[in-house]
Chains A and B, each alone.
Chain A
Amino acid sequence: DVKVTQSSRYLVKRTGEKVFLECVQDMDHENMFWYRQDPGLGLRLIYFSYDVKMKEKGDIPEGYSVSREKKERFSLILESASTNQTSMYLCASRTGVPGETQYFGPGTRLLVL
Protein backbone atom coordinates (compact mmCIF):
# COMPACT_ATOMS: atom_id res chain seq x y z
CA ASP A 1 0.00 0.00 0.00
CA VAL A 2 1.41 3.36 -1.06
CA LYS A 3 2.21 5.80 1.67
CA VAL A 4 3.06 9.49 1.91
CA THR A 5 3.39 10.81 5.45
CA GLN A 6 3.72 14.35 6.74
CA SER A 7 5.38 15.22 10.02
CA SER A 8 2.48 17.11 11.55
CA ARG A 9 -1.29 17.32 11.02
CA TYR A 10 -1.59 20.68 12.77
CA LEU A 11 0.97 23.39 13.54
CA VAL A 12 0.67 26.78 15.23
CA LYS A 13 3.58 29.17 14.78
CA ARG A 14 4.34 32.83 15.45
CA THR A 15 5.12 35.41 12.79
CA GLY A 16 8.83 35.42 12.02
CA GLU A 17 9.48 31.86 13.15
CA LYS A 18 11.30 29.40 10.91
CA VAL A 19 9.01 26.49 10.08
CA PHE A 20 9.93 23.05 8.79
CA LEU A 21 7.37 20.75 7.18
CA GLU A 22 8.58 17.27 6.41
CA CYS A 23 7.28 14.68 3.98
CA VAL A 24 8.34 11.06 3.60
CA GLN A 25 7.30 8.56 0.92
CA ASP A 26 7.98 4.85 0.92
CA MET A 27 7.41 4.15 -2.78
CA ASP A 28 10.88 5.02 -4.14
CA HIS A 29 9.34 7.83 -6.23
CA GLU A 30 11.60 10.21 -8.11
CA ASN A 31 9.23 13.19 -8.04
CA MET A 32 7.99 14.94 -4.92
CA PHE A 33 5.80 18.03 -4.66
CA TRP A 34 4.66 20.64 -2.16
CA TYR A 35 1.31 22.37 -2.65
CA ARG A 36 -0.75 24.75 -0.60
CA GLN A 37 -4.53 24.70 -0.70
CA ASP A 38 -6.70 27.65 0.18
CA PRO A 39 -10.48 28.09 -0.11
CA GLY A 40 -11.39 29.46 -3.53
CA LEU A 41 -7.82 29.17 -4.84
CA GLY A 42 -7.50 25.43 -5.21
CA LEU A 43 -4.21 23.57 -5.20
CA ARG A 44 -1.16 25.69 -5.97
CA LEU A 45 2.28 24.22 -6.56
CA ILE A 46 5.04 25.71 -4.41
CA TYR A 47 8.09 23.63 -5.30
CA PHE A 48 8.87 20.22 -6.67
CA SER A 49 11.87 17.94 -6.85
CA TYR A 50 12.64 15.36 -9.52
CA ASP A 51 15.74 13.91 -7.90
CA VAL A 52 17.87 14.12 -4.79
CA LYS A 53 19.26 17.65 -4.37
CA MET A 54 17.29 18.83 -7.41
CA LYS A 55 14.43 21.29 -7.14
CA GLU A 56 12.29 23.49 -9.33
CA LYS A 57 10.04 26.41 -8.50
CA GLY A 58 6.34 25.98 -8.89
CA ASP A 59 3.75 28.70 -9.25
CA ILE A 60 4.14 30.36 -5.83
CA PRO A 61 7.70 29.81 -4.48
CA GLU A 62 8.09 33.21 -2.79
CA GLY A 63 8.67 32.92 0.94
CA TYR A 64 9.47 29.20 0.76
CA SER A 65 12.49 26.99 0.23
CA VAL A 66 12.89 23.23 0.00
CA SER A 67 15.43 20.53 0.72
CA ARG A 68 15.78 17.03 -0.62
CA GLU A 69 18.85 15.28 0.79
CA LYS A 70 17.43 11.76 0.50
CA LYS A 71 15.13 10.30 -2.14
CA GLU A 72 12.34 9.50 0.29
CA ARG A 73 12.27 12.84 2.12
CA PHE A 74 11.25 16.31 0.93
CA SER A 75 11.16 19.25 3.30
CA LEU A 76 9.39 22.59 2.93
CA ILE A 77 10.89 25.50 4.83
CA LEU A 78 9.26 28.79 5.69
CA GLU A 79 12.27 30.99 6.48
CA SER A 80 10.23 33.62 8.32
CA ALA A 81 6.59 32.68 8.67
CA SER A 82 3.96 35.28 7.91
CA THR A 83 0.22 35.29 8.52
CA ASN A 84 -0.50 34.97 4.79
CA GLN A 85 1.20 31.58 4.90
CA THR A 86 -1.60 30.20 7.04
CA SER A 87 -2.89 27.37 4.89
CA MET A 88 -3.23 23.64 4.30
CA TYR A 89 0.05 22.22 3.00
CA LEU A 90 -0.01 19.03 0.96
CA CYS A 91 2.91 16.85 -0.04
CA ALA A 92 2.70 14.45 -2.98
CA SER A 93 4.92 11.99 -4.79
CA ARG A 94 4.97 10.23 -8.14
CA THR A 95 7.29 8.13 -10.27
CA GLY A 96 9.06 9.69 -13.24
CA VAL A 97 6.97 7.68 -15.70
CA PRO A 98 4.43 9.88 -17.57
CA GLY A 99 0.85 9.08 -16.69
CA GLU A 100 1.64 7.41 -13.40
CA THR A 101 -0.51 8.21 -10.37
CA GLN A 102 0.42 10.99 -7.97
CA TYR A 103 -0.22 10.20 -4.31
CA PHE A 104 -0.86 12.76 -1.59
CA GLY A 105 -0.07 12.90 2.09
CA PRO A 106 -2.69 13.70 4.74
CA GLY A 107 -1.85 17.40 4.85
CA THR A 108 -0.52 19.81 7.45
CA ARG A 109 -2.79 22.63 8.55
CA LEU A 110 -0.53 25.55 9.50
CA LEU A 111 -1.74 28.55 11.46
CA VAL A 112 0.63 31.53 11.71
CA LEU A 113 -0.30 34.00 14.43
Chain B
Amino acid sequence: EDQVTQSPEALRLQEGESSSLNCSYTVSGLRGLFWYRQDPGKGPEFLFTLYSAGEEKEKERLKATLTKKESFLHITAPKPEDSATYLCAVQAAGSARQLTFGSGTQLTVLP
Protein backbone atom coordinates (compact mmCIF):
# COMPACT_ATOMS: atom_id res chain seq x y z
CA GLU B 1 0.00 0.00 0.00
CA ASP B 2 1.28 3.46 -0.94
CA GLN B 3 2.09 5.69 2.03
CA VAL B 4 3.11 9.31 2.48
CA THR B 5 4.25 10.72 5.83
CA GLN B 6 4.98 14.39 6.38
CA SER B 7 6.95 15.88 9.25
CA PRO B 8 6.79 17.90 11.32
CA GLU B 9 3.03 18.30 11.69
CA ALA B 10 3.53 21.95 12.59
CA LEU B 11 6.48 24.31 12.38
CA ARG B 12 6.89 27.83 13.70
CA LEU B 13 9.72 29.94 12.34
CA GLN B 14 10.88 33.47 12.81
CA GLU B 15 10.99 35.57 9.67
CA GLY B 16 14.30 34.86 7.95
CA GLU B 17 14.87 31.55 9.75
CA SER B 18 15.42 28.91 7.05
CA SER B 19 14.20 25.34 7.53
CA SER B 20 13.02 22.20 5.74
CA LEU B 21 9.83 20.17 5.58
CA ASN B 22 10.02 16.42 5.06
CA CYS B 23 7.88 14.07 2.98
CA SER B 24 8.71 10.36 3.28
CA TYR B 25 7.03 8.00 0.87
CA THR B 26 6.62 4.30 0.16
CA VAL B 27 5.27 3.52 -3.28
CA SER B 28 5.57 0.83 -5.88
CA GLY B 29 7.04 2.76 -8.78
CA LEU B 30 6.99 6.53 -8.44
CA ARG B 31 5.35 8.37 -11.32
CA GLY B 32 5.53 11.78 -9.68
CA LEU B 33 5.80 13.59 -6.34
CA PHE B 34 3.83 16.78 -5.93
CA TRP B 35 4.03 19.68 -3.50
CA TYR B 36 1.06 21.93 -2.83
CA ARG B 37 0.50 24.99 -0.68
CA GLN B 38 -2.89 25.43 1.00
CA ASP B 39 -4.10 28.62 2.68
CA PRO B 40 -6.90 28.39 5.26
CA GLY B 41 -10.31 27.94 3.66
CA LYS B 42 -8.90 27.56 0.14
CA GLY B 43 -8.04 24.76 -2.25
CA PRO B 44 -4.47 23.48 -2.57
CA GLU B 45 -2.29 25.43 -4.96
CA PHE B 46 0.24 23.51 -7.03
CA LEU B 47 3.91 24.25 -6.39
CA PHE B 48 6.19 21.55 -7.84
CA THR B 49 6.35 18.16 -9.48
CA LEU B 50 9.42 15.93 -9.09
CA TYR B 51 9.87 12.75 -11.08
CA SER B 52 13.19 11.12 -10.25
CA ALA B 53 15.80 10.97 -7.49
CA GLY B 54 18.25 13.85 -7.64
CA GLU B 55 15.79 16.24 -9.23
CA GLU B 56 15.41 19.75 -7.77
CA LYS B 57 12.93 22.54 -8.47
CA GLU B 58 12.96 26.13 -7.20
CA LYS B 59 10.43 28.92 -6.93
CA GLU B 60 11.23 32.11 -5.06
CA ARG B 61 12.13 31.10 -1.49
CA LEU B 62 11.13 27.45 -1.99
CA LYS B 63 13.26 24.57 -3.23
CA ALA B 64 12.05 20.99 -3.52
CA THR B 65 14.40 18.01 -3.69
CA LEU B 66 13.81 14.29 -4.18
CA THR B 67 15.56 11.09 -3.14
CA LYS B 68 14.38 7.50 -3.55
CA LYS B 69 12.62 7.59 -0.18
CA GLU B 70 11.83 11.20 0.62
CA SER B 71 11.41 14.74 -0.55
CA PHE B 72 12.33 17.96 1.19
CA LEU B 73 10.81 21.38 0.79
CA HIS B 74 13.48 23.88 1.79
CA ILE B 75 12.32 27.36 2.75
CA THR B 76 15.03 30.00 2.65
CA ALA B 77 14.60 33.23 4.61
CA PRO B 78 10.82 32.78 4.95
CA LYS B 79 8.39 35.67 5.21
CA PRO B 80 5.05 35.78 7.05
CA GLU B 81 3.24 35.35 3.73
CA ASP B 82 4.81 31.89 3.42
CA SER B 83 2.59 30.77 6.32
CA ALA B 84 0.34 27.98 5.03
CA THR B 85 -0.11 24.23 5.12
CA TYR B 86 2.20 22.40 2.73
CA LEU B 87 0.94 19.12 1.29
CA CYS B 88 2.93 16.37 -0.36
CA ALA B 89 1.38 13.77 -2.68
CA VAL B 90 2.64 10.88 -4.79
CA GLN B 91 1.38 9.10 -7.84
CA ALA B 92 2.40 5.45 -8.03
CA ALA B 93 2.65 3.20 -11.04
CA GLY B 94 -0.02 0.94 -9.56
CA SER B 95 -2.49 3.81 -8.98
CA ALA B 96 -2.29 5.60 -12.28
CA ARG B 97 -5.37 7.73 -11.65
CA GLN B 98 -5.12 8.57 -7.96
CA LEU B 99 -2.74 10.55 -5.79
CA THR B 100 -1.84 9.55 -2.23
CA PHE B 101 -1.59 12.59 0.04
CA GLY B 102 0.29 13.21 3.25
CA SER B 103 -1.43 14.94 6.14
CA GLY B 104 0.52 18.17 5.64
CA THR B 105 2.86 20.47 7.57
CA GLN B 106 1.34 23.64 8.98
CA LEU B 107 3.97 26.37 8.70
CA THR B 108 3.73 29.61 10.64
CA VAL B 109 6.28 32.36 10.01
CA LEU B 110 6.33 35.02 12.69
CA PRO B 111 7.33 38.61 11.89
Whether the Cβ atoms of B45 and A104 lie closer than 8 Å is: yes
When the two chains form the complex, which single residue of A33, A43, A109 contacts B41, counting CB atoms closer than 8 Å? A109
When the two chains form the complex, which single residue of B31, B41, B46, B102 contacts A99, counting CB atoms closer than 8 Å? B31
- Which residues of B sit under 8 angstroms from A90, Cβ to Cβ? 43-44
Task: Point out residues on B near A: beta carbons under 8 Å.
Answer: 31-32, 34, 36, 41-46, 49, 51, 87, 89, 91, 93, 96-99, 101-104
Bound together, the chains give a CA A88 to CA B41 distance in angstroms of 8
Chain A: interface size category: 20 to 34
Residue ID in chain A nearest B50 by CB atoms: A99
Distance (whole angstroms) from the CB of B64 to the closest CB of chain A: 13
Task: Point out residues on A near B: beta carbons under 8 Å.
Answer: 4, 31, 33, 42-43, 45, 48, 50, 56, 58, 88, 90, 96, 98-107, 109
When the two chains form the complex, which single residue of A42, A50, A105 contacts B97, counting CB atoms closer than 8 Å? A50
- Which residues of B sit under 8 angstroms from A104, Cβ to Cβ? 36, 43-46
Whether the Cβ atoms of A107 and B96 lie closer than 8 Å is: no
Whether the Cβ atoms of A99 and B32 lie closer than 8 Å is: yes
Whether the Cβ atoms of B51 and A106 lie closer than 8 Å is: no
- Which residues of B sit under 8 angstroms from A31, Cβ to Cβ? 97
Whether the Cβ atoms of A43 and B97 lie closer than 8 Å is: no
Whether the Cβ atoms of A45 and B98 lie closer than 8 Å is: yes
Bound together, the chains give a CA A107 to CA B103 distance in angstroms of 17
Whether the Cβ atoms of B43 and A101 lie closer than 8 Å is: no
Interface centre among A42, A43, A90 (most CB of B within 10 A): A43
- Which residues of A sit under 8 angstroms from B99, Cβ to Cβ? 102
Distance (whole angstroms) from the CB of B93 to the closest CB of chain A: 7
Would A98 and B32 be within 8 Å (CB), given that A31-B97, A43-B87, A50-B97 are in contact? Answer: yes
Bound together, the chains give a CA A4 to CA B49 distance in angstroms of 19
